[in-house]
Amino acid sequence: MYDVTITNNYIYPFFVDTGNQAFVPGQTYQFKGWGTHLIHVAGMGDINFIDLGDRKLPGYANPKIPWTNSTWGGLIRYCGLDAYFRYEGGGQVKAVLDEVGSLSLHFDQGGMPIMLEDLTVD
């Protein structure tokens, strides 16, 4: 599991999963032992935090980039964009929603933007 810190500088509150607690603008929130969750951002859609456990995404491990071979991992999907991160022990994700709903991410142990297909046709 990893911990998440989210700063909300957006004009609207956000909501976690299907809850009704509003996380108001201008505040920073900490979530310990985070796993797979959705954050609903009004007017923008959901930030999808996916706990991958020890499963690695094919094509994203590189022996020259040590963090890509860490045991634990996660994936964050938002507005058609994806970020992949890995960590040892307890991971830390820092997320900032800016005033127009854009998301900035920081991974203490390593992460990168990636491109996953949202839809494929065989």
Question: What pLDDT was estimated at residue 19?
Answer: 87
- The residues, any chain, with a CB within 8 Å of residue 74's CB and separated by 6 or more, are 2, 49, 50, 51, 52, 84, 85, 86, 91, 93
Tokens (6 digits) for 57: 């995404």
pLDDT value at 114 more than 90: yes
| Torsion over CA: 22, 25, 28, 33 (sign) | positive
Domain ranges of the chain: 2-114
Q: 72: which strand partners?
A: 87
Q: How far apart are CA 39 and CA 21, in angstroms?
A: 11
DSSP state of 109: S
Q: 23: which strand partners?
A: 14
pTM: 0.94
**Residues 64-111: tens digit of each pLDDT:** 999 999 999 999 999 999 999 999 999 999 999 999 999 999 999 999
pLDDT value at 1 more than 90: no
Tokens (6 digits) for 87: 């960590």
- Tell me the CATH class for 2-114: mainly beta
Pairing of strands 2-8, 91-97: parallel
| Torsion over CA: 49, 50, 56, 58 (sign) | negative
Tokens (6 digits) for 6: 């989210």
Average pLDDT, the chain: 96
